[in-house]
Structure 1
Amino acid sequence: MDHAQSGRIATAATRRNRYSMTRAPAIDRVRSRLIEAVQPEYGRIPMFIYSDPDVYRLEMSTVFREAWLFVAHVSELPEVGSFVVRDMGEESVIVARGDDRTVRVFLNSCRHRGMRLACADFGSTNVWRCPYHGFSYGSRGEFLGTLVGAPFERVAYPGGLDRDALHLIEAKADIYQGLVFATWGKHSPQLVSYLGNVAWYLDLVVGRAEMEVVGVPQKWVVPTGWKLPCENFAADAYHTATAHSFLARLGLVETVGFGRDGYHVDPGGGHGLGVGVHSDQGGSYFPVELAEEYANRLSPDQLRLLKRVKNLHGNVFPNLSFLIPSFIDVDGRRVSGMMLRVWQPIAPDKVQVWSWHLVEKNAPGWWKTLGRKMYTQTFGASGMFDQDDTENWEAQTHNATASLSRADEVFLHYEMGLGMQPLPDSPGPGDVYDGKFNEAAGRTFYRTWLDYVVGRELV
C-alpha cells in the first residue's frame, strides 16, 4: 500500500470516527428523553413519539433491524423461481423460493452500485439482472443470490470478480403457519421464541386450515405514524362503540357494544389481541364444510375457542396486524373476510398500508366469494371501517406533529384496565382478561418498543 492510499484510508476513518462522535451524543439524548418520558406501566405515553423525526430514525436502526418482520405468505411463492418484493423498515428486499423449496430473503440491492435488482412487485425468473450495469444474480439452485456474470466481464475485470464477496446480502428468514418473517438481527431469537404466546392465537387465524392469499395485496398511503394503527389492532376494542357505531345504526350488529364481549389478551413480547365471542347455542360461525380440517390442525382448546369466535383482532410486534372481522349475515349466511395487514413506515408521519385477504384453500365456493366481498367492503382500501380509522389516525398524527414544540407536556392516557387481574382459568395462554375493553397489551406494546429503541435487553 502506498503512502497516498494509506493517507486516504486514514482520512476516511477519521471522518467516520468524527461522525460517530457527533451522532452518539444526539442518539443518547433521544434515548434519555424517551426513558424519562415514556411510562407504559403508568399508562403515560408522550405524544411526540408518534411523529418525531429523531425517534423515527432511532426506530429504523433498532426496531426494524432487530425485530422479526412479516414479508410474505408462502402462497405468494407458488413455484421455484417465484419472488415478491417487500420492505423491511425502509429497505427493499426480495423474497424468493429456490429449487430446494426454501424461501430466502435478500436485500434488493446490486452489490456493484446499489441499484434495485427486482423492480417489479412480483414475478418468476431464473436470474435477477441489474438494469444499471447488468450484473446478474442467480435466483435458483446453488446460485441463488450468487453473482453469476457481468457484461464484458473478461475485458472489464481481467483479474476476475470475487463472487463470494459480491453475494447478495441475506436476511435471516423463517416461516410460521405459512407466514414468512425475516430479520437483520444477528442475535435475534428464533422466530417461534419471538412469537411466544401469540403463536397459539395465530393458529386460529392462519393455522386452522391451509390458507392462501386471494389476488395481490392492496396498497395505499395513510398520513399517520406507524405505531397508532399497530397498537389499535393490538389493544383497542374500545373505539368500536364510537368510530364504528354505524354497524348498529345499519342493523348489522345488535348494539354499539358489539366490541366488548370476549377477551383482551396480553401474550407478552409486545404482541396483543382481542377475541370477540358469541353466545349462540347454534355453534361455530365458520363453514361446517371445514370442521374436519380445523379439528385436524388445532388442539382441543384452540378448537373450543374458535367455535365461539365472532371477531378476532391483533398485532404481532412491531407492525403485522391480523383480523377476522365481525361475522355479518349475507343472504342468510354468516360471513367474514379475513385479512393480514402491514403498516410499512415510509416517514415519521406516513405509512404505506399492505393488505392481504386470506381464505381457506379448501373452503366452499360461497365462503370464498362472500368472504372476498366482505373484505373489500369492510377492510379493503375503500372499506367502510378503514374510512373511520384512517381519519382518526391522520388527525392524531397531525396533533402529534403540531405539539412537538411542547411535546413533553402532552401525554396520552393508557390506564384502562390498569390493576385488573387476568382470569385464573383462561381459554388460552398469556394474560387473558374478561372483556375486550382493556389496554394491558397496549402498555406492553410500548414497553417492548421502548426496550428496543433504548437498547435494553428484551425479556
Structure 2
Amino acid sequence: MSRYDLQGRRDLEDRLRKTVDPKRGQIPMFTYSDPGVYELELERLFGQTWQFVGHVSEIPNPGSFITRAMAEESVIVGRGDDSVVRVFLNSCRHRGMRLACEDFGEVNNWRCPYHGFTYGSKGDFLGTFMGAPFEKSAYPEGLNRDALHLVEARCETYQGLIFATWAKEGPSLDSHLGNVKWYLDLLVGRAEMEVVGHPERWVVPTNWRLPAENFASDAYHTATAHSYLARMGIVKGADFGRDGYHVDVGGGHGLGVGVHFDEQSYFPAELAGEYEQRLDQGQLDTLARIKNMHGNVFPNLSFLIPNFVEVDGQRVSGSMLRIWQPAGPNKTQVWSWHFVEKSAPEWWKKLGRRMYTQTFSASGMFDQDDTENWELQTRNSDAALYRGEELMLHYGMGLDLPTLDATEFPGPGDVYDGKFSEAAGRTYYKVWLDHILNGKR
C-alpha cells in the first residue's frame, strides 16, 4: 500500500526538490529507503525509460525466449517465427496469469497454463492455432481477437544488447544511449560477443541505486574496500583504482577507464584483426591501454572489464554485464552475465570464465566486499527515515577539476584525468531527479 496520499506525494516531491542538490553534490539519505520515492521510481523512471533485458545470443532461433523483468514486471523476450525480437508483458490477457513460467526455452506459441488461451510468437491472438479452448461454446458471441494481443513494449537493440521501454513515444534507444555507445563498443562491440551460460541471479538487501552509482562513478572505494589486492600482490598498490580517466558522458551514464603503461595490449593478439574491423582508431588506441573499465548505463545496467590478472602465464580478464533489478526500496535482485568473443581462442574463454567466477560472480571476492557495504548503507538509510533532520551525503569529489580535451583522450563526454571523481554520480542524480519529478524541477 502506498505510504502517501495525493497531498503526501506532493509534499514528497517538494522535499526532493528542496533537498536533492546534484550540482553541489548533496543527496539526502532518506531517498534510498523511502517507499514513496520507490513508487515514483517505478512509475516515472522504470515506467518510461529504456531497460536492458538480454542479449541476442540468448535467443538464437525462431521461437527462442527468455523471461526477464522490467522493474518488478515479468516480461518475455522472444524471437518470433519471423526472427524479429519482441518483448511482451508476461501476462495472459484473460486473467493475468504468467504465460511463461520457465527461465528460457523454445516454443511455437504461448499457451496460458491457467485457462489455455494461446498466443502466437508475435503476441497475436489471430492464427489458426491461437484462441481459447472450447471457444464457440464458451464465447458464442465471439471474441475481439485484436483486443487480446499481448501487451508489447517498444524494443530496440544495440551491439546485440536488447532494450525495451513501456513508453509508447519518446527518445529512441540511440538517443537514450548517446555518447556511452562509444564505450559500450569497447565492451560488446569490439567483436561478435556471446553470453557464456545463463545469467547468475541472487538477492542483495540493498537499494538498487547504490550499486548502479558505484559502477558509474566510484573508483575511490577500491583503495579501501579492495585494498587486500595489493597485499596479495594482484595489483601494484592500493591506489590501483586511480590511474586512468573518469568520464561523465551525459544522460546519467558514467564510467571509469583504467589504463596501463605497457607497450602492448592486454587483449589476445589473435583477436586484433576483428577489433580493427569493428572499432575506429581512437577506440583501438583506448582498448590497447585498458587494464579495467567500469560503468553504468542509466538507470541500472552496469558493465565491467575487470583488472587483468596473470594466470598460467597469460594475462586475462572477463567482460561482465550486471542488472540491479529493483525488488523493493531496500531489496535488489542481481542479474550477472559473462560475455566473451565468439571467435576467441580457447585459453581466453576458459581463463576468462575462471576469473569471472573468482572475482565478480555471486561468490566472487569483489562482490563479497561490495555487497556488504551496500547492505549496511541501506540499513543506515532505513534508520534515517525516522530522523528529525535530513542526513545529507557528500558527492562533491572533483567538483572543481578541469576536463581534458580531445588531444588528451579520444572518447566523448566530460573526461577527467584520474578516476577519483564523482562528476558522473552528480549527473546521474540530476537525470534521476528529472525523471522522478517529471520535469518539475
TM-score range, shorter chain: over 0.9
Paired residue for 2:300, among 309, 319, 324?
A: 319
Return the alpha-carbon distance in structure 1 between the equivalents of residues 156 and 341 of structure 2: 22
Q: Could you say which residue in structure 1 is the equivalent of 2:326?
A: 345
TM-score (norm 1): 0.93
Return the alpha-carbon distance in structure 2 between the equivalents of residues 165 and 267 of structure 1: 42
Q: Could you say which residue in structure 1 is the equivalent of 2:107?
A: 125
Residues 45-100 of structure 1 deviation map (CA, whole Å, 9 limit, x = unaligned): 00001111110011000110111000000000010000000000111100000122
- Measured after TM superposition, the shift of residue 146 of structure 1 is 11
Q: Could you say which residue in structure 1 is the equivalent of 2:418?
A: 435
Q: Could you say which residue in structure 2 is the equivalent of 1:3?
A: none
- The verdict on how the C-alpha distance between 1:268 and 1:238 changes in structure 2, with shifts beyond 3 A counting, is same
Q: Could you say which residue in structure 2 is the equivalent of 1:4?
A: none
Q: Could you say which residue in structure 2 is the equivalent of 1:8?
A: none
Paired residue for 1:310, among 288, 291, 294?
A: 291
- Measured after TM superposition, the shift of residue 338 of structure 1 is 1.1
Alpha-carbon contact 2:208-2:326 (below 8 Å) kept: yes
Aligned pair count reads 438
Return the alpha-carbon distance in structure 1 between the equivalents of residues 370 and 395 of structure 2: 18
Does residue 10 of structure 2 align to residue 28 of structure 1? yes
- Measured after TM superposition, the shift of residue 151 of structure 1 is 1.1
- The verdict on how the C-alpha distance between 1:292 and 1:50 changes in structure 2, with shifts beyond 3 A counting, is same
Alpha-carbon contact 2:124-2:150 (below 8 Å) kept: no
Alpha-carbon contact 2:86-2:122 (below 8 Å) kept: no
Q: Could you say which residue in structure 2 is the equivalent of 1:177?
A: 159
Paired residue for 2:364, among 366, 383, 388?
A: 383
Paired residue for 1:287, among 253, 260, 268?
A: 268
Q: Could you say which residue in structure 1 is the equivalent of 2:62?
A: 80
Does residue 250 of structure 2 align to residue 264 of structure 1? no
- Measured after TM superposition, the shift of residue 185 of structure 1 is 1.2
Give the letter for the 2:60 counterpart.
Answer: P
Return the alpha-carbon distance in structure 2 between the equivalents of residues 438 and 320 of structure 1: 20
Does residue 238 of structure 2 align to residue 274 of structure 1? no
Q: How does 1:3-402 map to 2 (within 5 A)?
A: 23-139=5-121, 148-281=130-263, 283-402=264-383
- Measured after TM superposition, the shift of residue 149 of structure 1 is 1.2
- Measured after TM superposition, the shift of residue 188 of structure 1 is 2.3
- Measured after TM superposition, the shift of residue 142 of structure 1 is 7.3
Query: Percent identity among equivalent residues?
Result: 67
Return the alpha-carbon distance in structure 2 between the equivalents of residues 405 and 393 of structure 1: 20
Return the alpha-carbon distance in structure 2 between the equivalents of residues 210 and 323 of structure 1: 17
Give the letter for the 1:167 counterpart.
Answer: H
Return the alpha-carbon distance in structure 1 between the equivalents of residues 275 and 59 of structure 2: 24
| Gap runs ≥5 in structure 2 | none
Alpha-carbon contact 1:46-1:407 (below 8 Å) kept: no
Return the alpha-carbon distance in structure 1 between the equivalents of residues 126 and 188 of structure 2: 29
Return the alpha-carbon distance in structure 2 between the equivalents of residues 387 and 145 of structure 1: 50
Does the residue aligned with 2:163 lie in a helix, a strand or coil? strand
Return the alpha-carbon distance in structure 1 between the equivalents of residues 425 and 123 of structure 2: 44
| Gap runs ≥5 in structure 1 | 1-18
Residues 24-44 of structure 1 deviation map (CA, whole Å, 9 limit, x = unaligned): 323222111111110000010
Return the alpha-carbon distance in structure 1 between the equivalents of residues 400 and 126 of structure 2: 53
Alpha-carbon contact 1:135-1:147 (below 8 Å) kept: no
Alpha-carbon contact 2:223-2:238 (below 8 Å) kept: yes
Alpha-carbon contact 2:224-2:238 (below 8 Å) kept: yes
Return the alpha-carbon distance in structure 1 between the equivalents of residues 348 and 388 of structure 2: 48
Q: Could you say which residue in structure 2 is the equivalent of 1:16?
A: none
Give the letter for the 1:395 counterpart.
Answer: L
Does the residue aligned with 1:70 lie in a helix, a strand or coil? strand
Paired residue for 1:444, among 418, 427, 433?
A: 427
TM-score (norm 2): 0.97
Alpha-carbon contact 1:234-1:313 (below 8 Å) kept: yes
- Measured after TM superposition, the shift of residue 141 of structure 1 is 9.3
Does the residue aligned with 2:13 lie in a helix, a strand or coil? helix
Alpha-carbon contact 2:123-2:150 (below 8 Å) kept: no
- Measured after TM superposition, the shift of residue 457 of structure 1 is 7.5
Give the letter for the 2:268 counterpart.
Answer: P
Give the letter for the 1:399 counterpart.
Answer: N
Return the alpha-carbon distance in structure 2 between the equivalents of residues 360 and 143 of structure 1: 39
Return the alpha-carbon distance in structure 2 between the equivalents of residues 152 and 46 of structure 1: 58
Residues 301-322 of structure 1 deviation map (CA, whole Å, 9 limit, x = unaligned): 1011000000000000000000
Does the residue aligned with 1:455 lie in a helix, a strand or coil? coil
- The verdict on how the C-alpha distance between 1:142 and 1:165 changes in structure 2, with shifts beyond 3 A counting, is closer
- Measured after TM superposition, the shift of residue 246 of structure 1 is 1.3
Give the letter for the 2:27 counterpart.
Answer: I
- Measured after TM superposition, the shift of residue 217 of structure 1 is 0.4
Alpha-carbon contact 2:230-2:237 (below 8 Å) kept: yes
Does the residue aligned with 1:406 lie in a helix, a strand or coil? coil
Return the alpha-carbon distance in structure 2 between the equivalents of residues 242 and 66 of structure 1: 37
Alpha-carbon contact 2:243-2:418 (below 8 Å) kept: yes
- The verdict on how the C-alpha distance between 1:280 and 1:100 changes in structure 2, with shifts beyond 3 A counting, is same
Return the alpha-carbon distance in structure 1 between the equivalents of residues 56 and 440 of structure 2: 32
- The verdict on how the C-alpha distance between 1:125 and 1:51 changes in structure 2, with shifts beyond 3 A counting, is same
Does the residue aligned with 2:386 lie in a helix, a strand or coil? helix
Give the letter for the 2:254 counterpart.
Answer: G
Alpha-carbon contact 2:125-2:131 (below 8 Å) kept: no
- The verdict on how the C-alpha distance between 1:43 and 1:144 changes in structure 2, with shifts beyond 3 A counting, is farther
- Measured after TM superposition, the shift of residue 329 of structure 1 is 0.3
- The verdict on how the C-alpha distance between 1:427 and 1:346 changes in structure 2, with shifts beyond 3 A counting, is same
Return the alpha-carbon distance in structure 2 between the equivalents of residues 173 and 54 of structure 1: 29
